[in-house]
Amino acid sequence: MKEDLGEVAGQLTDLSGIGPVYLVGGSLRDRILKRPSRDYDFVVAGNAKAFAKSVATKFGVRIIEMGKGKKPVYRVVSGDKVLDFSPLHGKNIDDDLRNRDFTINGLGVDLSSEDLIDPVGGRDDITAETIRLISNEAISADPLRMLRAFRLGAVLGFNITPQTLSAIADQVSLVTRSAGERIKSELLGLIEAERSFPYLKQMSDVGLLMEIIPELESCCNHPPDSNEQSIYEHVTRTYEEMEALLTEYPSTWPEYAEPMGHYLEQNNRKGLLKLAALFHDLGKPLTYSVDDTGRVKYLTHEDKGALVAGDICARLRMSGRERSYVDLIVRNHLHPLHLFDARQRGVLTTKGIIRFFTRHENDAVGLLLHSLADQRAKVVHNTKFEENFVAFLDEVFQRYFNDFKAAITAPQLISGKDLIEHFGLSPSRLFGELLHKVEDARLNREIETREEAFDLVDSLVSERQFAEMEAKRDPLN
Is 217 part of any domain?
A: no
Which pLDDT does position 10 carry in this prediction?
A: 59
Is 45 part of any domain?
A: yes
Same domain, 290 and 308: yes
Out of 409, 424, 455, a domain closes at: 409
pLDDT at residue 14 is higher than 90: no
pLDDT at residue 474 is higher than 60: no
Question: pLDDT-based confidence at 435, cuts 50/70/90?
Answer: confident
Same domain, 33 and 150: no
Which pLDDT does position 79 carry in this prediction?
A: 80
Same domain, 106 and 201: no
Same domain, 138 and 117: no
Same domain, 374 and 237: yes
Is 268 part of any domain?
A: yes
Question: pLDDT-based confidence at 361, cuts 50/70/90?
Answer: confident
Condensed to tens digits (0 to 9), the pLDDT of residues 137-150 reads 999 999 999 999 99
Same domain, 246 and 328: yes
Condensed to tens digits (0 to 9), the pLDDT of residues 212-269 reads 999 999 998 877 656 678 999 999 999 999 999 999 999 999 999 999 999 999 999 9
Q: Convert the chain into a string of H (helix), E (strand) and C (coil).
A: CHHHHCHHHHHHHCCCCCCCEEEECHHHHHHHCCCCCCEEEEEECCCHHHHHHHHHHHHCCCCEEECCCCCCEEEEEECCEEEEEEECCCCCHHHHHHCCCEHHHCCEEECCCCCEECCCCHHHHHHCCEECECCCHHHHHCCCHHHHHHHHHHHHCCEECHHHHHHHHHHHHHHHHCCHHHHHHHHHHHHCCCCCHHHHHHHHHHCHHHHHCHHHHHHCCCCCCCCCCCHHHHHHHHHHHHHHHHHHHHHHCHHHHHHHHHHHHHHHHHHHHHHHHHHCCCCHHHHEEECCCCCEEECCHHHHHHHHHHHHHHHCCCCHHHHHHHHHHHHHCCHHHHHHHHHHCCCCCHHHHHHHHHHHHHHHHHHHHHHHHHHHCCCCCCHHHHHHHHHHHHHHHHHHHHHHHHHHHCCCCCCHHHHHHHHCCCCCHHHHHHHHHHHHHHHCCCCCCHHHHHHHHHHHHHHHHHHHHHHHCCCCC
pTM of the model: 0.84
Out of 392, 409, 426, a domain closes at: 409
Is 240 part of any domain?
A: yes
Which pLDDT does position 13 carry in this prediction?
A: 58
Which pLDDT does position 429 carry in this prediction?
A: 75
Same domain, 440 and 313: no
Condensed to tens digits (0 to 9), the pLDDT of residues 29-75 reads 998 898 888 888 999 988 888 888 888 888 888 999 987 666 889 99
The CATH number of the domain where 12 resides is what?
3.30.460.10
Condensed to tens digits (0 to 9), the pLDDT of residues 107-134 reads 999 887 788 999 999 999 999 999 999 9
Q: Which residues form the domain of 460?
A: 416-472
Which pLDDT does position 442 carry in this prediction?
A: 73
pLDDT at residue 272 is higher than 90: yes
Is 224 part of any domain?
A: no
Is 223 part of any domain?
A: no
Same domain, 442 and 391: no
pLDDT-wise least confident of 98-102, 247-251, 377-381: 377-381
Out of 375, 393, 409, a domain closes at: 409
Condensed to tens digits (0 to 9), the pLDDT of residues 313-360 reads 999 999 999 999 999 999 999 999 999 999 999 998 888 888 899 889
Same domain, 394 and 422: no
Same domain, 269 and 202: no
Average pLDDT of the chain? 87
Same domain, 352 and 333: yes
Is 306 part of any domain?
A: yes
Is 219 part of any domain?
A: no
Same domain, 187 and 319: no
For range 278-289, the mean pLDDT: 94
Question: pLDDT-based confidence at 420, cuts 50/70/90?
Answer: confident
The CATH number of the domain where 158 resides is what?
1.10.110.30
Instruction: Provide the domain count of the chain.
Output: 4
